[in-house]
Amino acid sequence: MLQAEVERATADPLGRGALLQCAGQPPIAAQHVLLATGFDPARPGGALVDHAIEGLGLPVASCGYPVVDGRLEWGHGIHVTGPLAELEIGPVARNIIGARLAGERLVRG
């Protein structure tokens, strides 16, 4: 298995699938190709969240993501959803199911 960024893909001239050109790699003949959008492991929110962490003394894990309680409260009166709630909700926090789970927790209070 090769994990790489595909720069160009064309049909294999011999009809055996695809010919892939990946960054820094010789062309690769492939019968099957799995594509993914990727995942940036960095915490979202940029400078706004950085300033909130510093200015409000909000707790973060070693990965930089918020440490929240079961009610998704990060600090007094500060609740998070989406990727910022990922350590509590899990990997689904970024999609519609995660939004629903977060909403249920926020309503329960």
pLDDT given at position 2: 67
Same structural domain, 32 and 77: no
DSSP reduced 3-state for 21: strand
Bridge-partner residues for 28, per DSSP?
Answer: 20
Same structural domain, 23 and 57: no
Q: What is the pLDDT of residues 9-28, one digit of tens each?
A: 888 777 878 888 888 888 88
What is the C-alpha separation between 79 and 44, in angstroms, rounded? 15
Q: What is the pLDDT of residues 31-69, one digit of tens each?
A: 877 766 666 678 899 999 999 999 999 999 999 999 999
Backbone phi, psi, residue 55, to 5°: -70, -30
Same structural domain, 30 and 4: yes
Which of 3, 9, 86 shows the shortest CA–CA distance to 102?
86
Same structural domain, 14 and 67: no
Same structural domain, 51 and 73: yes
Q: What is the pLDDT of residues 79-97, one digit of tens each?
A: 999 999 999 999 999 999 9
Residue 47: both structure tokens together: 């400078």
Same structural domain, 31 and 67: no
Domain ranges, residue 5:
1-38
Same structural domain, 104 and 61: yes
